[in-house]
Structure 1
């Protein structure tokens, strides 16, 4: 499916590597100007080079999503330069530790909640007015099957992704009478650094590359996409299922 994002402004968090990197690249290939956010300057610069190589354009915004004041300023900066935002891809997240709940250090739990949940809420608050100025605002919130499986030892990460889905579905309900469409997506097991950290004995070559997952995500942020408040699932490099909110 061809997605035309010419003259669209897209904000991607966690854009320096993995799914965020390749989603940003796919957005640029489709014609969007990408506002790429991440902590790692080197990774953002590599992304910028890759985007320029395909004829696209990007604005790099290096900062830590734990910096809530920076998230607040981001919305204002986007408004001053473009006056709107067409696409949000809230991709950045941290795993924490795979450990019994009672053994998780407080600082680890708090970091997972800060980056995965608090920062997502702060980002929503910062850019919602900009997305509503678009004729077809689209928000894609990255989730995980961990939000539903709640496997032993995955407590902090599972709880954070369940919270993110709740935020997204609530936001979708609040904006359903507007042109803004909001989706969650579970990208599935993907060949990323986070996956290697979570499942260290796994053969990464058996998993889809993040570039393949990014290609599947692109139609979810196009102007033609009309669903809101749903969770889509990527399996075998394509969207194969979704769950309706109850």
Structure 2
């Protein structure tokens, strides 16, 4: 078990820091945005629904912090490309990037997946994160303690029937994060890690397992607490995966 040291409720260890969260309008993304705000960070919240972003903004203000709302379809890649420049002009840096936005995709045999369904799922789960890396990497390197956390899934390590599109996209996200972590490890203060939330009380989980009792699952707020710990300037590990169900911080095996 790995004890991630979350801050005391009264502490604001992220005061003065800028955090960008994708998929911030519900579930793990929303809970993480609020947890980072409560720790003192200014939140850049990306999501598709303006109304939900405004509700998040109200909650962030109530938590004593501030937010910049970015209504955006994560598949709008030119907008992602412009985002880095806009953030540099306004803030001059970025301290935290949470790559949370994701879709389940088709629960279908691989041979029956429609090309558009495949393209849409890979666009959201993988390509958007790569475009965000391209756009945000220079800003994160300007931070005194840049932290990036990408959300993976236990499905990335299984070959479960009918889960292929989602599992393949998440396995690719893990390789994306690990490669990025190795590229910046010795040349910047940026640390890049992954988290596997495991079964969580979210809309996506309910879609995949409609007969499951959601009250038996951890809440998004529980996952957000773990993500917050990975974002603290004091957390120095990089290129690792935090497995929430087991509480373990895993290093990936190095081939001989």
What range is the shorter-chain TM-score in? over 0.9
- What is the CA–CA distance in structure 1 between the aligned matches of 2:144 and 2:194, rounded to whole Å? 20
Q: Give the equivalent residue in structure 1 for 2:198.
A: 188
- What is the CA–CA distance in structure 1 between the aligned matches of 2:159 and 2:57, rounded to whole Å? 37
Q: Give the equivalent residue in structure 2 for 1:75.
A: 84
- What is the CA–CA distance in structure 1 between the aligned matches of 2:221 and 2:94, rounded to whole Å? 24
Q: Give the equivalent residue in structure 1 for 2:38.
A: 29
Unaligned runs of 5+ in 2: 1-5
Aligned counterparts, 1:14-93, within 5 A = 14-93=23-102
The answer on 1:135 being equivalent to 2:144 is yes
Query: In the alignment, which of 228, 231, 235 is matched to residue 218 of structure 1?
Result: 228
Aligned-partner SS, 2:145: coil
Aligned-partner SS, 2:242: strand
The answer on 1:96 being equivalent to 2:74 is no
Aligned-partner SS, 1:232: strand
How far apart are residue 69 of structure 1 and its match? Answer: 0.3
- What is the CA–CA distance in structure 2 between the aligned matches of 1:242 and 1:68, rounded to whole Å? 32
Aligned-partner SS, 1:135: coil
Q: Give the equivalent residue in structure 1 for 2:249.
A: 242
Q: Give the equivalent residue in structure 1 for 2:238.
A: 228
- What is the CA–CA distance in structure 2 between the aligned matches of 1:55 and 1:150, rounded to whole Å? 44
How far apart are residue 243 of structure 1 and its match? Answer: 2.0
Query: In the alignment, which of 147, 160, 185 is matched to residue 176 of structure 1?
Result: 185
RMSD: 0.9
- What is the CA–CA distance in structure 2 between the aligned matches of 1:98 and 1:242, rounded to whole Å? 29
Q: Deviations over 1:109-133 (max 9, x none)?
A: 1101111111100000000000000
How far apart are residue 212 of structure 1 and its match? Answer: 1.6
Aligned-partner SS, 2:40: coil
The answer on 1:11 being equivalent to 2:17 is no
TM-score in terms of structure 2 length: 0.93
TM-score in terms of structure 1 length: 0.97
The runs of at least 4 aligned residues of structure 1 exceeding 3 Å deviation read: none
- What is the CA–CA distance in structure 1 between the aligned matches of 2:227 and 2:123, rounded to whole Å? 25
Q: Give the equivalent residue in structure 1 for 2:159.
A: 150
